Amino acid sequence: VSVSILSLGFAHWALISYHLRASAIVSDYFIPLFYTLAMLVDAIVAIPIGFLYDKIGLKVFIGIPLLTFIASLVLVTNSIYSILLFITIWGIVMGAYETIMRAAVADLVDPMFRAYAYGIFGLIVGLSWMIGNAMLGFLYQYSRIALVYFVFSAEILALAFALIGFLKK
């Protein structure tokens, strides 16, 4: 539940690149370079995050909603330095998501049903990410303040569900 709510507020790169293009903050050729930066950060972060997950388990997830919220601020800034910071954080979130969430599915599900569980997980998170980004796109056009509140609310809710899950164990 927590991951699907987290995905509601996680801006897809398509929306970020639209913002960078529409606001004309940088030349167009920088947009794929920024994505490359985010993917480099994603790759670098995956190893220590995976190691941390192996040591403390899903508790490593606790910081991800906050980082997701911070990364979303890329959609409301026109400062190149802020954009670079937020894109770097976006890469951290993506690396954590790709590492932690898949490892968690493997740990939580019987091996006999693992492929099915990955499919269900992908479907739920994909739908959540699609719905969330449709909302973010709508809010981007009409009220960027509302966009920030939407992401903040989604990430606080994701954190709350994660904490409830940890307390039950």
**pLDDT tops 90 at residue 2:** no
What pLDDT was estimated at residue 166? Answer: 80
Do residues 137 and 15 make contact, with C-beta atoms less than 8 angstroms apart?
A: yes
- What's the rounded mean pLDDT across residues 118-134? 95
Share of the chain above pLDDT 70, in %: 99
Sketch out the chain's domains with CATH numbers. Answer: 2-168 (1.20.1250.20)
**pLDDT 10s digits, 98-118:** 899 889 888 889 999 999 999
Looking up tokens 């409301």 gives 76
**pLDDT tops 90 at residue 169:** no
